[in-house]
Structure 1
Amino acid sequence: MPQYTPPLRDMQFVLHELLDAVGTLRQLPAHADLDVDTVNAVLEEGGKFASQVTAPLNLSGDKEGCVLDKTTHEVKAPKGFKEAYAQYVEGGWPALSCDPEYGGQGLPATVNLCFYEMLNSANQAWTMYPGLSHGAYEALHAHGTPEQKALYLPKLTSGQWTGTMCLTEPHCGTDLGLLRTKAEPQADGSYRISGQKIFISAGEHDLAENIVHLVLARLPDAPEGSKGISLFVVPKFIPQADGSLGARNGIFCSGLEHKMGIHANATCQMLLDGAIGWLVGQPNKGLMAMFVMMNAARLGVGNQSLGLTEVAYQNAVAYAKDRIQMRALSGPKALDKPADPIIVHPDVRKMLLTARAFAEGGRALTAYTALKLDVALNTDDEDERRAADDRVALLTPIIKAFLTDNGWLATSHCQQVFGGHGYIHEWGMEQFVRDARINMIYEGTNTVQSLDLLGRKVLGDNGAKLRAFGKEIAEFVEEHGISEEMQEFVNPLADLGDKVTKLSTEIGMKAFGNADEVGAAAVDYLRVVGHLCFAYLFARMAQVALAKKDGGDPFYTAKLHTARFYFAKLLPETATLIRTARAGLSPLMAMDEALF
């Protein structure tokens, strides 16, 4: 059975030494009283919950899966999941970063994201039940009426109710402009909603007493396409004015998907048969309102793969130190044993260090972005808010796509370290690989994220968001470029920054002639920019570690080794990616469809 130890030391390094998160947050009125000890104490307790309560359920939950009673349409989660959720609610964890006006604790999103990384390492499938509630909470908090907020937000904040997002349908996938679910207005101001939704994570379960579905549907006079979509809140049980539960609503689970991974999370086909719902936000503006939830989910999915990368790495390292097989090519290392531990072999170390670098780089990038999100949500300075919003917008598709691609690579590498045992269920590694694969697909496939980055976030504003980020990187390069011991980090960072600028301009010029050039280059482009983010943050981490490496703490020595590995072995991938991005559209489109 796999084990998990919360990476508290590295989280503290990122939050306090790399980012000075508390110093930034204390400048915001909502977090003026925050201190380092509080952050550390919350994460320490959160780590205990993840490692002691949900992690032991991961393997068994995957094996058991969820069960649908087709007579009652009720879904039962695996053994122990309901009890773990009750402990989660009792501990106040759902309220961590929620608004105090609705019973929340008001802690920063940055702290909540770190907590969720640990939950994802421990048990991604379980974490998806409460995780989606945060998105529902955010959408209602941003766009709900005062009455909707008063009714739903306290219950979502406490965890008494959970939430979902009901977007896609069998025929439309990511293209929500094609959805057909209908909403008929009623005399009392409610709507009767009918249609079918698929791939609804946590759409039905027995963990909480009510489920708040946010549903996209069309009004009778809605225009075609994405401009004709409205958002509705559709509860499983219709709440009374005092928050107590009323009648069962007409939204049911009609089937469970049989999936490659995340078996312990109920991925539901949902049937709406005249279900009663209420409009959230403006008519025909539902997609804009739902984007609050979708963007939160995209950051959350990147965080899922970060969690899987970390736990797979931890178990692969433990195995590599213990498993003996063959002798080192340079001669025996464990003379008291019949063979050497496999961690002496260079390629095993390469796989382990790849996973480690992806985990540490991903943790730094998610925390950096979450801190910008906290600023955007809480600053009184409009210019500061706009700049922080732009940075989050730029980095969100990178976190979703780059971190999930990396998670797939890392978990596969860690499975490989185990050899044949990595293919066996009881060791847990094959589950990490299966669970990691969905993260590249849902909440907008990684190709969709790449198109969003290149088409909307970079070319859409003529590179303004990217230039602002590039300016921050250039200032770091200028400040530390004169340091001899920083040359190995600063020089390749500066070089990649120049190449990203040139590549962006080149693709933009091609796109003027044929917009499909964006689609041909986007996936490779996102990965290049993802590496730019990692190179910047690894250079910053190296700068901190260099200043403290002589203090005797091996943590900083390890951090420098990881940074050097990243720059030597992983960053050079960008050379190939830039060439393939520049190869353009012709090699992809030249062949006639009939020849496929």
Structure 2
Amino acid sequence: MIPYQPPLQTLRFLVREVLDAPAVLAAAGRGEAGALFDEVLAQAGRVAAELLAPLNRTGDEEGVVVERGGVRMPAGFREAWTVWRDGGWTGLAGDPAHGGQGLPALLDTLVTEMVCAANLAFSITPGLTQGAIRAIAAHADDGLKGWCLPPMIAGEWTGAMALTEPQAGTDLGLLRTRAEPAAGGGHRITGQKMFISSADHDLTDNLVHLVLARLPDAPAGTRGISLFLVPKRLPDGTRNGWSVLSSEKKMGLHASPTCVVAYEGAVGWMVGAPNRGLAAMFTMMNHERLFVGIQGIGVGERAAQAALAYARQREQGRAPDGPHRADRPADPILHHPDVRRMVLSARVLTDAGRALAAWTALWLDRARQGGDAPLAEEAEEEAEDWAALLTPVVKAAGTDFGFEAAVLAQQVMGGHGYIREWGVEQLVRDVRATQIYEGTNGIQALDLVQRKLGMKGGRPADRLLAELEQAAAGLEAEPATRDMAPALRDAAARLQGVLGWLREAGAETPLDPAAGATDTLRLVALTAYGWMWALMAAAAARRPAGYDPAFLEARIGLARYFMERHLPEVAVLDARIRRGHAGLYGPGLGGELEATGG
């Protein structure tokens, strides 16, 4: 396996030169945080590369084991969790009122990416715990907060969410798990859940599930769902009434326990209002969707590094333009145009995804302004717009392109990409799940098209269009990047046209926007990635001090590659979206799809 190298120079450039995060945080009343980025990222990079990355393959090979007392994690994971816990990493962005460090979401996002790149299976437990912390903090009563939040933020407990049942996946209105009021307070939870990531483990002595269930008098459908906090161990230390029936046998993520759990009168406490559990759970789910996008970006980084390292050292054939290594019998495959295409594509898709996720995180930080910082209300409003618009994009594009990057790396390596020795086949297997869980990417696309693009009179989409124009102007202002502006403006114009078409077509039939949802999300994502590359190229063209000049030149070259080779795809997506649903429901297709015989 090619070792993982934390991309510290890239992260520092993004934080300081592209996002100007220290100044943004200072304006938001959090000036002390900006000075910590370099040191914290360097420390996190060491933990990721030296502790977590070596466990990635061994954890995959050993997997988790369900025993009578619960789930046993692979060798080394418990020790790694202890280091993670003792380093205070679980509480990095946690509320200081409950023992957290209160550092920016942007910093937490970049640390999380390195963990995901090093060991995707390990990342799931802390990632889910963060979402559970947010849901409990936002919706639980003070008693539950005081009991659960300090040990969760400290890494002494972890969190998971229990939603899916055999008959209720995306349609949670079909769930059957029951919650009966219990004598002395609380509720008794009875039912079965599946696909619970990190449902049980031996990393900590306790953990909590956030479980969706129905009260006895609950109305049908999603309006009758409540949310309950169900711990593994009760306050008196006794084992609660739930057990792991099995751990799913998965394509990848073998070192992450994805469990079927039976609740047999387990004690739980309501989080939020009765029959309003789905709204409370969305606090966790929205965090997890951003987290899962970061998982895809992390794997994309690992794959891009592996592809480049292999292409530099593997010698096969002569380059089309003649020998590059006359002293050798063959040239490194990096000199073959198609290999170069794959290496560069993995890089540009990953770096743009990281920048978009970081942009979103920084706006969340702006919304959490400290003290009497000015414009807090306006910042919160804009942050809500960006979070709403970009959450499905970061989730779906981060994971789609992360999977594409892993497959590209596998292709660069040829046969070596298909065998275990080099580790890339594990990246392909592991990252594939990210396109499925926390709402499949098709669900994210429907959310974008049916809700987010038109919300608040289209205000979030208008913000994006304004940023695209500003970014194009920024490209024009620098001689080294001026030639890229027309491509970005063309993509923005196509996006604006598609938004208008969706409004008009949707007024005629909901089938047209739904049929083009996945293509629309990809179009938005590619355009947003072009925006990010415009920001990165313009920042590099200003030649800031403290960076390798070759690194800055590469930022501009990568931006141009994206604009020339990836952004033109929006034209195809534009045409496909405007075809509507007719091709899906055309003559003869009903018989093909609905026939019962061969």
TM-score range, shorter chain: over 0.9
Query: What is the distance in 2 between the residues matched to 1:88 and 1:153?
Result: 17
Contact 1:545/1:556, CA 8 A, preserved across alignment: yes
Q: Deviations over 1:356-412 (max 9, x none)?
A: 001110111111010011122336622220111111110000000011110111100
Preserved CA contact (<8 Å) 1:254 1:270: yes
Structure 2 SS opposite 1:247:
coil
Matched residue SS, 1:68: strand
Contact conserved, 2:18 with 2:539, CA < 8 A, in 1?
yes
Q: Which residue of 1 aligns with 2:97?
A: 101
1:562, CA displacement in angstroms? 0.7
Deviations 1:19-71 (A, max 9, x none): 01111112224x242233x11100100000000001000011111111111x3
Q: Is the 8 A contact 2:226 2:277 kept in 1?
A: yes
Q: Is the 8 A contact 2:474 2:535 kept in 1?
A: no
**Counterpart in the other structure of 1:237:** 233
Q: Normalising to structure 2: TM-score of the pair?
A: 0.96
Deviation at 1:288, TM superposition (A): 0.8
Q: Would the aligned equivalents of 2:51 and 2:80 in 1 still touch at CA under 8 Å? A: yes
Q: 1:321-349 CA distances to partner (integer Å, 9 max, x unpaired)?
A: 11111111221111111111111101111
Distance 1:421 1:476, change over 3 A: closer
Displacement of 1:168 in angstroms is: 1.0
Distance 1:114 1:516 in 2: 38
Which residue pairs with 1:382 in the alignment? Answer: 377
Given that 1:65 and 1:265 are in contact with CA atoms closer than 8 Å, whether structure 2 keeps it comes out as yes
Report whether the alignment pairs 1:465 with 2:464: no
Paired residue for 1:243? none
What residue number does 2:279 align with? Answer: 288
Structure 1 residues 129-186: Cα deviation after superposition (integer angstroms, max 9, x where no partner): 2221000100011111111111000000000000001111111111111111110112
Alpha-carbon contact 2:315-2:330 (below 8 Å) kept:
yes
**Does 2:563 align with 1:564?**
no
Give the AA of the match of 1:309: G
1:346 is aligned to 2:337: yes
Conserved 8 A contact 1:59-1:426: no
Q: Give the corresponding residue for 2:84.
A: 88
Q: Is contact 1:66–1:78 with CA below 8 Å preserved after alignment?
A: yes
Q: Which amino acid aligns with 1:56?
A: P
SS of alignment partner, residue 245 of structure 2: strand
Query: How many pairs were matched up?
Result: 587
**Letter aligned with residue 57 of structure 2:** L
Q: Choose from 41, 44, 51 the match for 1:43.
A: 41
CA distance in 1, matches of 2:381, 2:361: 15
Among candidates 385, 388, 398, match of residue 393 of structure 2: 398
Alignment pair present for 1:594 and 2:585: no
Give the corresponding residue for 1:9: 9
* Structure 1 residues without counterparts, runs of 5 or longer: 241-245
Partner of 1:238: helix, strand, or coil?
Answer: coil
Q: Is the 8 A contact 2:511 2:580 kept in 1?
A: no
Show the counterpart of 2:153: 157
**How much does 1:479 deviate?**
5.4
State the alpha-carbon separation in 1 of the partners of residues 2 and 365 from structure 2: 34
User: Does the Cα contact within 8 Å between 1:316 and 1:418 map onto a contact in 2?
Assistant: yes
Alignment of 1:408-557 (within 5 A): 408-478=403-473, 480-481=475-476, 483-548=478-543, 553-557=549-553
**Conserved in 2, the CA contact under 8 Å of 1:59 and 1:428?**
yes
Paired residue for 1:334, among 301, 325, 340? 325
What is the CA–CA distance in structure 2 between the aligned matches of 1:463 and 1:454, rounded to whole Å?
11
Note the 1:206-355 alignment, pairs <5 A.
Answer: 206-240=202-236, 246-355=237-346
Identity value in percent: 44
What is the CA–CA distance in structure 2 between the aligned matches of 1:399 and 1:479, rounded to whole Å? Answer: 24
Secondary structure of the residue aligned to 2:481 is helix
Letter in 2 for 1:397: P
Distance change in 2, residues 1:329/1:549 (3 Å): farther
2:198 corresponds to: 202
Cα displacement (A) at 1:312: 1.0
Look up the match of 1:20: 20
Structure 1 pair 250–346 and aligned structure 2 pair: CA distance change class (3 A): same
Letter matched to residue 394 of structure 1 = L
1:126 and 2:122 matched: yes
Deviation at 1:552, TM superposition (A): 6.4
C-alpha separation in 2, matches of 1:398 and 1:552: 32
| SS of the residue 1:94 aligns to | coil
Counterpart in the other structure of 1:363: 354
> What secondary structure is seen at the aligned counterpart in 1 of 2:330?
coil
Equivalent AA in structure 1 for residue 317 of structure 2? M
Choose which of 116, 136, 142 in structure 2 pairs with 1:140. Answer: 136
Structure 1's 552 and 428: CA in aligned 2 closer, same or farther, altered over 3 A?
closer
Q: Deviations over 1:418-469 (max 9, x none)?
A: 1101111121010001111111110000010001111100134432210122
AA paired with 2:15? L
Check whether the contact 2:23–2:31 (CA below 8 A) recurs between aligned residues: no
Q: Deviations over 1:255-304 (max 9, x none)?
A: 11000111110010111111100000111111111111001100011100
CA contact (8 A) 1:117 1:306 kept: yes
Superposed displacement of residue 480, structure 1: 4.9
Q: Distance in 1 between matches of 2:13 and 2:31?
A: 21
Note if contact 2:209-2:230 (Cα within 8 Å) is conserved in structure 1: yes
Runs of 5+ in structure 2 lacking a partner?
A: 594-598
Q: Distance in 2 between matches of 1:34 and 1:552?
A: 25
In structure 1, what is the equivalent of residue 65 of structure 2? 67
In structure 1, distance between residues paired with 2:178 and 2:591: 38
Give yes or no for contact 1:510–1:517 (8 Å, CA) kept in 2: yes
Q: State the one-letter code of the partner of 2:226.
A: S
Query: Using the alignment, how far apart are the partners of 1:51 and 1:192 within structure 2?
Result: 44
